[in-house]
Amino acid sequence: MAVSMTQSVEQRIESLRRILRQHNHAYYVLDKPSISDGEYDKIYQELVALEAQHPKLITPDSPTQRVGDAPLDHFEQVTHLNRLYSLDNAFNTNDLQAWRDRLVKQLGEEAAIEFMAELKLDGLAISLMYEDGLLRYGATRGNGQVGEDITQNLRTIRSIPLKIPVQGTAAPPKKLEVRAEALMPIASFLRLNEDRRKAGEPEFMNPRNACAGSLRQLDPQVPASRNLDALFYTGIIIEPGPDTPTITTHQAMLDYLASLGFKLNPVRQHCTHLDDLEQTIAQWDTQRHSMPFNSDGVVVKVNDLRQQDRLGYTAKSPRWAVAYKYPPEVKPTKVLDIELSVGRTGNITPVAVLEPVILAGTQVQRASLHNFDELGEKDVRIGDTVDVHKAAEIIPEVLRVHLKQRPQKTKAVEPPATCPVCDAPTMRKEGEVALRCSAPKTCPAQRANRFEHWVSRQAMDIDGVGPALLEQLMERELIDTPADLYTLSVNDFLTLDRIKEKSAQNAYTSIQASTDRPLARLINALGMPHVGKETAVLLANTFYSMDALCRASDADLVAIDGVGPKVAESIVTFLADPDTVLLLEDLKAAGVRMADEKPETKVDASHPFFGKTFVLTGTLPTLGRQDAEEKIRAVGGKVSSSVSKKTDFVLLGDSPGSKAAKAEQLGVPSLSEAEFLAQL
């Protein structure tokens, strides 16, 4: 469409932008497309052409500028104007009643308390700042006080307006902070994992991790390709404008945000009494599973903002809000088969193949039965109807068998006498429940799993080299041991099926980058029996070099707090094996780092965390789990995987699992990330 004689180029560009913003709002926020894709593309391309001819007229809020920045070297830090708090949890109606009673006590018996309930979304908390209606920056929650500036990635999310109001003439506040949950729809998550599986890349654990990983990419093209969304849940008017209304309730704030063009959580309800609230929570327990996003609870807030001000905050949470957490969803399904899986150390694990069932928003078809003792105790058989759930909303688990529905003449699955993959005899060491294949050096399954472990994130962290790629490399005899990975060239990868230049170069670069991993990762990557990432860190922090570790005796190892005789024997035996000796020599020749720099100063025994045992649960706002564990060990602390009476602290992140409840039951103190970092 040509620009008319009476309309300037600048006016036409602004008109096109306004039209596109309105259509984007209808499509991405209201879910009501107002124009065909072809018509939209025609308008968009006209704008692109005009901006190309007049680059000085390009503005950051233009619809053409959602993806355009070059990759960053790192994320800058942002100090939040208003702290982002975490929420206390309620797990049942008694907890809700106790919370309300505390509110009444603080506000006074005569106070009428009303609530706003919103379905709790399992995503990444973000904060965005708008000045004079323009998006200035967006940041992660971080530790609540300081987050990371991920503006260029948030701009790729179509439901986040670059300019407000999207439609209408009312002037926006001069300065407005809004908060939202960035999300990956379940359908997008499943497609992403399918693509990564086909490409031989590691899959994401759940949509929340996939969303967080996408938004922390330095290249904005990555989040732009992953169909992310954002649902807004509150706003703070920092500096009002001439048309900004006076807002006294949370419900009114949500209505105001919607009028500005922000996409809200569609599942929300105003509740005048606690009974209404409890009925709403019960109703949503079923409704949440039909949502396009994962949800594990309900966020409840006092509706009156003046009452919120009076109630205030604790050190980590607002007193006027609570997160009600639903119990894990349990569903019945049928066991179609019981397969036997062989792991990298030879463990043979029974796995239930299930009739597909949707749990916590994703399809479940397999569930580990861990070992043959558990298989026998639960008495799971092919054809049984069983109850399954997701432990911590992530790991599928068989809970129990419906014995009354058991078909006639079913047989229990017995422990095999030979390996299901290579037919070598099976064995079980005294005092162990694990049944193992006796041919670790020749069993194809063990070799494949050892390679997969080597490239995994907790080991050498080699991105872009997944199971499918490794399988081809082994089939073509390009690799026999992990050291062979470091001799591969780009041309070697190009000989494989469905591998193009970019993928080949990425795989080669990732492998070469892994040569400089810390010693603990190398020790973990070796896959010694009974040595996981925790023990690997202990060994690295004790010996500082692979040579010193290889010279260590049983007595040297047992002297380490956390290493027992059984683990010590396993380490000495493994490292003395001629194949291991040769592997380490080849790795050293390939340039793989074999030592860490030994610190000059000793750990301060007076540090409050010295000698203390931590358990981590949930997702920490700014620290990766590995980072947090390293910080704990650096000051002489210990990390355990389970809560017990011996636990000193629980480091509590977002969406914690059952460990948080157990810690509360045992009276184990919990720390938020902010509290942990302050004491650290």
Catalytic positions are 120
Helix, strand, coil percent content, the chain, rounded in steps of 5 = 40, 20, 40
For residue 300, CA distances in Å to 88, 117, 255, 451 come to 11, 5, 17, 47
Q: Which parts of 369-440 are beta strand (E)? A: 385-391, 395-401, 426-427, 436-437
The tokens 């002489």 sit on which residue? 636
**Spatial separation of the C-alpha atoms in residues 284 and 267, rounded to whole Å:** 8
Q: Give 276's Cβ-side CA count (13 Å radius).
A: 12
Which tokens in the block code for residue 158? 């179509």
Q: Which parts of 417-465 are beta strand (E)? A: 426-427, 436-437
Q: Are 475 and 388 in contact (CB under 8 A)?
A: no
List phi, psi (to 5°) of 3.
Answer: -75, 130
Q: Say whether 538 sits in a helix, a strand or coil.
A: helix
Which tokens in the block code for residue 415? 């422990």
Q: Which parts of 591-648 are beta strand (E)? A: 613-617, 638-640
Q: Which residues, other chains included, contact 228 with Cβ-Cβ below 8 Å and sequence gap of 6+?
A: 156, 157, 182, 183, 184, 188, 211, 214, 215
Q: How far is CA 250 from the centre of its chain?
A: 29
DSSP type of residue 629? H
Kindly report the number of other CB atoms within 10 A of residue 121's CB atom: 26
**Spatial separation of the C-alpha atoms in residues 163 and 148, rounded to whole Å:** 21
Angle at 624 between CA 619 and CA 627, to 5 degrees: 135
Strand 268-271: give its sheet, edge to edge: 89-90, 321-325, 295-302, 115-121, 268-271
Q: How far is CA 304 from the centre of its chain?
A: 33
Q: Is 73 exposed, middle or buried (0-12, 13-18, 19+ CB in 10 A)?
A: exposed
**Spatial separation of the C-alpha atoms in residues 234 and 126, rounded to whole Å:** 11
**Spatial separation of the C-alpha atoms in residues 21 and 19, rounded to whole Å:** 6
List phi, psi (to 5°) of 341.
Answer: -105, 140
Helical segments of 238-317, H only: 250-260, 274-287, 305-311
The tokens 């005789």 sit on which residue? 565
**Spatial separation of the C-alpha atoms in residues 652 and 323, rounded to whole Å:** 14
